[in-house]
Structures are given as C-alpha cells and as structure tokens.
Amino acid sequence: MRIAIVGATGLVGRTFLKVLEERDFEITELYLFASKRSAGNKVIFKNKEYTMEELTESSFDRNIDIALFSAGGDISKKFAPIAAEKGVLVVDNSSAWRMESGVPLVVPEVNPETAFKNSGIIANPNCSTIQCMLPLKVLEEKYGLKRVIYSTYQAVSGSGHKGIEDLENGLRGEEPKTYPHPIVNNCLPHIDKFLENGYTKEEIKMIDETRKILGIPDLPVTATCVRVPVMNSYSVSITAELERDFDLEELKEALGNFAGMVLVDDVNSNEYPLASDATGQDKVLVGRVRRDFSTEKGINLWVVADNIRKGAATNAVQIAELFRGI
C-alpha cells in the first residue's frame, strides 16, 4: 500500500514507523509529512532513506491509499478533509473527528466492522479509552453493562515530548513548563482543560467515546483522569456494574481469551499488570479481577497498556491493516 504519515517527527509519528516496520506492513510508497522546520530531515525505514516534506494543501496530489495523522486537532481539521476528497483514507489520532456523526471510532478488536462505514476519515480513540474497550467488550457481550466508573493513572508521555521533559526536568529540581504544578512527587487530577461542569475534557472524552465504541449511547459512565509521575503506559481502575450475575473464574477466562488482551492475575505471587511490563508491547494487560461487594453484580478490574503504542500508533496501524488487500 501507499502510505503517508502526517506528523512524522512527533512521538506517535515516529512510533507509527516503528510499528509499521515491526508488523512488516507491506508498503510500496511512503510519504512523510511534517512542519516546515522539519522538512528536509532524513528518516530510515526498512533500510531505506526517506526525506520529510512540508505538509501543504497539495501534499495529497499523488496516489496515496492511507494517511496516518498525528499532528494535532487543528492540522487534522484542515488537512484530513483535503486528503479524503482526493481519495485518501485518513486514520486520525487527534480528537478532532471522534464524535463527528458518520466518522467511525474504531478499536479493531472491538468494533472493526464500523471502520468500513467511513466517508474517508476514521478516528482513532483516546489512548485511555482504547485500552478499556477490550475488557468492557467482554463484559458487555457476556453479562451486559449497567454502569462504568473509570479512575485513570496516565503517564507523562501522553503529553508528548513536553510532558516527558517536565518529569525529567522536575527530577533535577526545575520548575514545570507544561503542567500547572510539578509532576514529580505529585498526582495531578487535571488532564486537558476544565469544563463548566467540573469535568476535564479528557474525562468527557472517555465517557463519550466509550458509549460510541460500544454502541450504547445511554450507558452511565463517569471518569476521573489523573496524570502521574510515570514515563510511559497508562493504568486504569475500572469498576463495572453488570446486568447479569457472573462466575468469577469464567469471567477471568473470558478476559484472558480475548484477542489483544493478556490476563495477569496471580495475587498470591504478586503478579498483576504493571506499567513497566506494558511498555513496549501492544497487548492490553488486565488483572486484579475481583467482585465489587458494594453493589450487586459489580466487578473491579486493573487495566494497563502502552499509551503510545496500543493507545495510539498501533491501534491506528491495526485500523489500516483492516484495509489491506481491499
């Protein structure tokens, strides 16, 4: 396939290339687009050198099958429709198109069929949402979902290079430049902007995206999203209230057998999902599976995944893989 990457110099953009190479995605032509200041830089992909180009309105005036976008919402709003109008299938990693009517919001293990109902643009969900969809899909299919509560523990890499720098600089005693408070020795219950209702945009993203991906528009969902002093990989505590009762061992088995997910749940040996174990891989790790005794038919889960890979780059590449040979 003929592939373009928009935002090729960013953290996710560079991971696109890494994941495409690891998964041996067959590419006949590759185009790398970035800002004007990055144009001319060289990149090696599969032992071949490529030159970064400045993204312009004429960038898609060539035969391109799929464009993977990770350059921010403003860039996506402007350039994704231009690409789509020229016959390019856009897989966009920003939040710009996720809740647009007619734009599929896709996690390939969960709702791959929706990807084919596109009008040229497919949205990649929020990284914190993606990893939660796999276990929730299992629960919804087997037992039905009545309510979902999220508490997230999100690594600084979710803020890109600037978040990583804030943590590294903070460890040297320097003041933060990206976060409103030092991230070192702190947990910040503040990701993205606060809204008038007291929630942050990140929390509302998780709520709205969960409903859209699972196809349950009236599902009661709430979230508290927290930035933590961890370099990479997100951890999420999920409490779900189910429609039907369950056998705990049967539920665990179903989680462990679901595509893309690994059950890590042997508390007697202190085995449970860790951010350090998830980093660098594409699997979603799930553990600490236990009944929630505060409510009838309640379950608690601990879910961990690499937010740059499965939470962004890999999920987008998996969407592209759905269209190979079509």
10 is in an annotated binding site: yes
**DSSP code string of 258-296:** STTEEE--BGGGTB---HHHHTT--PEEEEEEEEETTST
Catalytic residue check, 225: no
Find all residues with CB under 8 Å of 85, minimum gap 6, and list them: 120
147 is in an annotated binding site: no
291 is in an annotated binding site: no
237 is in an annotated binding site: no
Residues 258 and 292 sit within 8 Å (Cβ to Cβ) = no
12 is in an annotated binding site: yes
58 is in an annotated binding site: no
Identified catalytic residue from 127, 132, 187, 225:
127
Q: What is the spatial distance between Cα 85 and Cα 73, in angstroms, rounded to a whole number?
A: 18
106 is in an annotated binding site: no
72 is in an annotated binding site: no
| Long-range Cβ contacts of 101-108 (<8 Å, 24+ apart) | 105/209, 105/212, 105/213, 106/213, 106/315, 106/319, 107/133, 107/134, 107/213, 107/315, 108/315, 108/318, 108/319, 108/321, 108/322
Give phi and psi for 215, each to the nearest 5.
70, 30
9 is in an annotated binding site: yes
157 is in an annotated binding site: yes
Which positions make up the binding site? 9-12, 37-38, 98, 154, 157-158, 227, 307
Q: Which residues are catalytic?
A: 127
Which positions make up the binding site for phosphate? 98
Which positions make up the binding site for substrate? 154, 227
Which positions make up the binding site for NADP(+)? 9-12, 37-38, 157-158, 307
